[in-house]
């Protein structure tokens, strides 16, 4: 059988710097574990604009559609700030998300023991935390019609519409249940069915998908405002949380900060299953191109490395290998290695991007 294909789009700023460390891990997987990927690389964002005059060339889009998974670094930077909106680097990423129809956004909150004191919450509350928020990404109040600012009598009225179809809810619910089966088999769905009709439908459809196709997964429902409180009070009660676009935006940012630095946060965006059964998938760190530290060797590569680990687990069914990578990250952190973003005010000596990559590779060995 052919090797699974991986398209790497490193992008701009620190994107290529953190991606370089992931490429070394991919090399390690081949050499030491006999796991080979057909890796191809292409341009996205400002890097693509510089060559093609657009932030994502059609040929690159086609490669992304055909790949088993896409791994993206980051896009953007001050050099491109004055560009027309239609060719801004971010448009390249938006085009990928839209044309691949990536409706399910996975945002893990994973707290490595060595960083538990870095959280704003107590060590006990966050140490060992490992949850994933699944946010619906392509519908809901950010897209619903009617929308706009209108005149009503002699004042203005601002309108947005929360709109979800049954099929939109069902597909993201499925994606959450599939995910749960690769984890600890537990899903909590969050909405506001107490005050919103779209929330009532959300709750009903999630329950129906569960009862029909995933009765083995433990399902609970929670109002999203209570969910926010519970996330901060005792996040370890959750495993997979599935929620709509708006609540997911807020809850995922909140959950992310339970664990510390932006330089640690991976993400995945999944779409419909392809002919081979794998979902369309884009993996990327949550952070941007960090122009303030680009070129200085200060970037933390862990967010990008953990994004690759997510690809191993969720696109390639290589959960054991994903765990291996996560354990290696855990070990280097436990050994005290810190990039600059992980240092408190009293400091110590930070390691560089490559030194962090070296250490993760050594830990993998």
Diameter of the chain by CA atoms? Answer: 71
Q: If DSSP codes are grouped into helix, strand and coil, which group holds residue 45? A: coil
Residue placing its CB nearer to Mg ion in the complex, 26 or 251 = 251
Task: Given the residues 113, 142, 186, 317, select the one marked as catalytic.
Answer: 142
> Is 317 annotated as belonging to a binding site?
no
Residue placing its CB nearer to ligand NAI in the complex, 222 or 282 = 282
Binding-residue total with Mg ion (CB under 5 A): 2
Work out which of 4, 76, 248, 271 binds ligand NAI, going by CB under 6 A. Answer: 76
Residue 307 CB neighbours (<10 A): 25
249 binds, among ligand NAI, Mg ion, none (CB under 5 to 8 A by kind): Mg ion
> Is 44 annotated as belonging to a binding site?
no
77 contacts ligand NAI (rule: CB under 6 A)? yes
> Is 164 annotated as belonging to a binding site?
no
Binding mask 298-337 for ligand NAI (x = CB under 6 A): -xx--x----------------------------------
> Is 77 annotated as belonging to a binding site?
yes
Q: Are 279 and 269 in contact (CB under 8 A)?
A: no
Chain positions 149 to 208 lying near ligand NAI, rule: CB under 6 A, are: none
Residue placing its CB nearer to ligand NAI in the complex, 42 or 341 = 341
Chain positions 253 to 272 lying near Mg ion, rule: CB under 5 A, are: 253
Specify burial of residue 187 (Cβ count, 10 A radius: 0-12, 13-18, 19+).
buried
Cα of first residue to Cα of last residue in the chain, in angstroms, is: 27
249 contacts Mg ion (rule: CB under 5 A)? yes
Work out which of 269, 289, 307, 315 binds ligand NAI, going by CB under 6 A. Answer: 289
Chain positions 262 to 281 lying near ligand NAI, rule: CB under 6 A, are: 262-263
What is the rounded CA–CA span in Å between residue 260 and residue 310?
Answer: 19
Work out which of 175, 251, 341, 357 binds ligand NAI, going by CB under 6 A. Answer: 341
* Sheet of 240-243, strands arranged across: 38-42, 5-11, 69-74, 279-285, 266-273, 104-110, 130-136, 240-243, 186-191, 218-223
Q: What is the CA radius of gyration of the chain?
A: 21
> Is 297 annotated as belonging to a binding site?
yes
* Least distance CB 249 / Mg ion (angstroms): 5
* Binding region for Mg ion (CB under 5 A) out of 9-17, 199-207, 244-252, 354-362: 244-252
Work out which of 97, 144, 272, 291 binds ligand NAI, going by CB under 6 A. Answer: 291
Taking alpha carbons only, the member of 206, 219, 258, 240 closest to residue 313 is 240
Task: Given the residues 204, 216, 253, 335, select the one marked as catalytic.
Answer: 253
> Is 290 annotated as belonging to a binding site?
yes
- 253 is an active site residue: yes
75 binds, among ligand NAI, Mg ion, none (CB under 5 to 8 A by kind): ligand NAI
* Least distance CB 75 / ligand NAI (angstroms): 4
Q: Are 228 and 251 in contact (CB under 8 A)?
A: yes
What are 125's two structure tokens?
């509350």
Distance of CA 323 to the CA centre of its chain: 17
* Binding region for ligand NAI (CB under 6 A) out of 33-41, 105-113, 125-133, 292-300: 292-300
Q: Which residues pair with 135 in a beta bridge?
A: 105, 243
What is the rounded CA–CA span in Å between residue 49 and residue 188?
Answer: 42
Q: Which residues pair with 88 in a beta bridge?
A: none
Kindly give the residue spans of alpha helices, DSSP state H, lying in the chain: 15-33, 46-52, 58-66, 89-99, 123-126, 166-181, 197-213, 224-233, 245-256, 302-314, 319-334, 353-364
* Least distance CB 145 / ligand NAI (angstroms): 27
- 225 is an active site residue: yes
Question: Active-site positions?
Answer: 142, 192, 225, 249, 253
The binding site for Mg ion (CB under 5 A) comprises 249, 253
Binding residues: 77-90, 97, 107, 135, 225, 249, 253, 288-300
């Amino acid at each position: 059988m052919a090797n699974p294909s991986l398209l790497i789009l490193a992008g701009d700023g620190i994107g290529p710097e953190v991606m370089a460390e992931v490429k070394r891990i991919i090399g390690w997987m081949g050499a030491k574990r006999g796991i080979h990927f057909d890796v191809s690389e292409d341009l996205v964002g400002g890097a693509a604009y510089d060559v093609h005059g657009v932030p994502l060339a059609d040929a690159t889009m086609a490669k992304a559609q055909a790949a088993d998974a896409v791994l993206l670094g980051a896009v953007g930077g001050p050099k491109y700030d004055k560009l027309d909106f239609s060719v801004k680097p971010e448009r390249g990423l938006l085009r990928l998300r839209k044309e691949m129809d990536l409706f399910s956004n996975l945002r893990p909150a994973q707290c490595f023991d060595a960083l538990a004191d870095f959280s704003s919450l107590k060590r006990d509350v966050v140490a060992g935390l490992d949850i994933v928020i699944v946010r619906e990404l392509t519908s809901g109040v950010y897209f619903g019609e009617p929308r706009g600012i209108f005149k009503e009598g002699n004042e203005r009225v601002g309108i947005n519409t929360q709109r979800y179809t049954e099929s939109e809810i069902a597909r993201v619910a499925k994606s959450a249940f599939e995910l749960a089966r690769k984890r600890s088999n537990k899903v909590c769905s969050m909405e506001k069915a107490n005050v919103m009709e779209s929330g009532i439908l959300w709750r009903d459809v999630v329950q129906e998908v569960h009862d029909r196709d995933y009765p083995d997964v433990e399902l609970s429902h929670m109002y999203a405002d209570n969910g926010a409180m519970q996330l901060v009070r005792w996040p370890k009660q959750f495993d997979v949380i599935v929620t709509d676009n708006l609540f997911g935006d807020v809850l995922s940012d909140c959950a992310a900060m339970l664990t510390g630095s932006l330089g640690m946060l991976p993400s995945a965006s999944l779409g419909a299953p392809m002919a081979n059964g794998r979902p369309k998938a884009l993996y990327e760190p949550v952070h941007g191109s960090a122009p303030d530290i680009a070129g200085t060797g200060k970037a933390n590569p862990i967010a990008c490395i953990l994004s690759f680990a997510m690809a191993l687990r969720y696109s390639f069914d290589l959960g054991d290998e994903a765990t291996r990578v996560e354990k290696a990250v855990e070990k280097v952190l436990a050994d005290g290695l810190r990039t600059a973003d992980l240092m408190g005010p009293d400091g110590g000596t930070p390691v560089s991007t490559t030194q962090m990559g070296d250490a993760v590779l050594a830990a993998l060995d």
